[in-house]
Chain A
Amino acid sequence: MARVLMKGTEAIAEAAVRSGLRFFAGYPITPQNEIPEYLARRLPEVGGHFVQGESEIASVNMVYGAGCAGERAMTSSASTGISLKSEGISYCAAARIPMVYVNVSRGGPGVGTIQPSQMDYLQATKASGNGGFRMRVFSPSTVQEAVDMTYKAFDYADQDRNPVLILSDGVVGTMMEPVELPPMRTDEELAAIRESKKAWAGIGHPFDVPRSWNQPGIWDTLKWEQQNKDNAALYESWVPEVETLDLEDAELVIAAYGISARIAKAAIKALRAEGYKVGMIRPKTVSPYPYAAYDEINYDTCKAVLDVEMAIPALHLWDVEKGVKDRCPIETCLRSGGIVIQKREIIAAAKKILG
């Protein structure tokens, strides 16, 4: 497969189509507009449907409906727009309806800035809506990773019957990089996927009792408690994905995800070249979070863990603390407001700790 130069947002959109996306509804917001723009043209080519909803809330609920009908469905937005969608996402989680959504996050809180940021971490990983549901949340560092994660997000959504979030940012979303695209799922494969959902989805059936579970609430408290227990068991079964680098001899471990992680990686390379022993933990899923990776750190040699992120106050730090469990000090290197962190800033922060 030849590599092609693609913008992150367009690559996500194409990967989604190849994975079987046939219904998209969204509402414009920078910096993710190329996802709806691309799909408005692309989906009709494969017999799919694109709708620009009258609002974020309308579009997420259209995706909820398409998911109920057994289609691979997606919506996307950025930060403040994701907040508006949170009700619909919570409804999908409650009704156990598969759907995928993308947050190309920008500066916050509020409308914030249109530039890249990682201020939505806690919203993405801990409470993407009311009611304590969890999701698998993938955070790509490269456009290729955005493609690969989006492609498999639909499989996870169907397997779990739960929403899956691609937590991107304004850099990975708007940059172009060479990518290799995954194969297009055939019509036969998609038909088989639809067929597999017939037990619960509204496909060619009159509305009946089992399918009435496709509603975001049950008035029987015992049933609802059981549903929450089943959900909790599902969440527990998920396996986190992580990349670790040189933890054995590390005197400093950098913990970072998404765009910050790729910049940190370049910083680590420069530091290693100067003889500094620096390692890295890069969560690829920020939910479930790879806490166990922190057990691989050699705390006899490690002076500190450095949390690098584009968020002030630090948010990823909450999970880093939970992973480190007071076994060494934690320092931070932060930028915010739409400013992309620089390699030299990370190098300086590392040297300050290592002396």
Chain B
Amino acid sequence: METNILVAGFGGQGVMTIGKFLASAACDATDKYITFFPSYGAEQRGGTANCYVVISDEEIGSPMTDEMDDMIVMNGASLNKFLPMLRTGGRLFVNSSIVKEEIGRSDITVVKAPVTDMALELGNSKVLNIIMMGVYLGYTEVLPVDVVWSTIEHKLGKKPALLPLNRMAFEQGLQIGRAERA
């Protein structure tokens, strides 16, 4: 069993953080093979950013294949660029606050969540990625939720004041993911 995940958006949306947290949690909680591979241009904030995470029971070949099982897309440009790489039967997680385009594929599962709007309602635009992680995990259960949360807790350890907000963001995402799955 091998799961290839792509997370894509623009710089500043916490795209790399989603990938790193998933890979980190998988490293902490399982004996599986894991790779995280970041890909970005010379740009920083505002430029495109994407990363690849592979979680596998066997040795991993390429950390950046062009045939994805799961895809998390945070902006429209990324959807257009990467959607052809999602395999038939793959799962697409979309930030529907920003991505207004028609998905236009009936051979995949689409889970939409307005994570930018939700983050603004929570009072901090930066937590959109934590909400999206919740959506993804709530739907896929690719990793145990409590393990991922303790990874987030650990990574945010230096800023404990932000933990309640992130917990709320994570929970809201989980609810959406679980509801979509049901």
Contacts and interface: CB of A to CB of B under 8 A. Distances in A.
Q: Do A and B come from one complex?
A: yes
Given A178-B34, A343-B65, A266 B59 contact: yes
A176 B20 CA distance: 9
Choose among B27, B38, B61 the residue with the greatest number of A CB atoms under 10 Å from its CB. B61
Contacts of A327: none
Contacts of B35: 175-177
B36 interface: yes
A175 B60 CA distance: 12
A262 B62 contact: yes
Contacts of B63: 171, 175, 177
Given A171-B37, A176-B35, A263 B42 contact: no
Interface string A121-140: 00000000000000000000
A177 B168 CA distance: 30
B27 A265 contact: no
Contacts of B60: 262, 266
Given A5-B24, A5-B27, A174 B62 contact: no
Contact of A343 (B23, B37, B59, B61): B61
Choose among A3, A5, A341, A343 the residue with the greatest number of B CB atoms under 10 Å from its CB. A5
Interface string A152-192: 00000000000000000001001111100000000000000
Contact of A3 (B23, B27, B59, B66): B27
Interface residues of A, number: 23
Interface string B20-64: 100110010000011111100010000000000000001111111
Nearest to A31: B38
Choose among A114, A340, A341 the residue with the greatest number of B CB atoms under 10 Å from its CB. A340
A32 to B, nearest CB: 14
Choose among A30, A171, A177 the residue with the greatest number of B CB atoms under 10 Å from its CB. A177
Contact of A174 (B34, B37, B42, B67): B37
Choose among B24, B27, B34, B67 the residue with the greatest number of A CB atoms under 10 Å from its CB. B27
A114 B37 contact: no
Contacts, number: 58
Interface string A240-279: 0000000000000000000000111111010000000000
A292 interface: no
A176 B38 CA distance: 9
Range of interface residues on B (Cβ < 8 Å): 20 to 34
Nearest to B41: A114
A163 B164 CA distance: 52
A346 to B, nearest CB: 9
Given A5-B36, A174-B38, A340 B62 contact: yes
Contact of B36 (A176, A264, A341): A176
A353 interface: no
B36 A342 contact: no
A239 interface: no
A133 B66 CA distance: 41
Nearest to B38: A174
A144 B23 CA distance: 16
Nearest to A177: B35
A351 interface: no
Contact of B37 (A175, A178, A263, A264): A175
A30 B33 CA distance: 27
Interface string A318-354: 0000000000000000000000111110000000000
A263 B66 CA distance: 13
Contact of B66 (A30, A174, A267, A342): A342
Nearest to A342: B66
Given A5-B23, A114-B42, A344-B67, A175 B36 contact: yes
Contacts of B24: 5
Contact of A5 (B34, B38, B58, B66): B34
A176 B23 contact: yes
A214 to B, nearest CB: 41
A265 B62 CA distance: 9
A312 interface: no
Nearest to A266: B61
Interface in B56-99: 58-67
The 6 closest A-B pairs by CB, nearest first: A266-B61, A176-B36, A5-B27, A175-B37, A263-B62, A263-B61
Given A177-B35, A343-B61, 20 more contacts: A5-B23, A5-B27, A174-B37, A176-B23, A176-B35, A176-B36, A177-B33, A177-B36, A177-B63, A178-B27, A262-B59, A263-B61, A264-B61, A266-B59, A266-B61, A266-B62, A340-B64, A342-B65, A342-B66, A343-B62
6 contacts: A5-B34, A174-B37, A175-B35, A175-B63, A177-B34, A266-B62
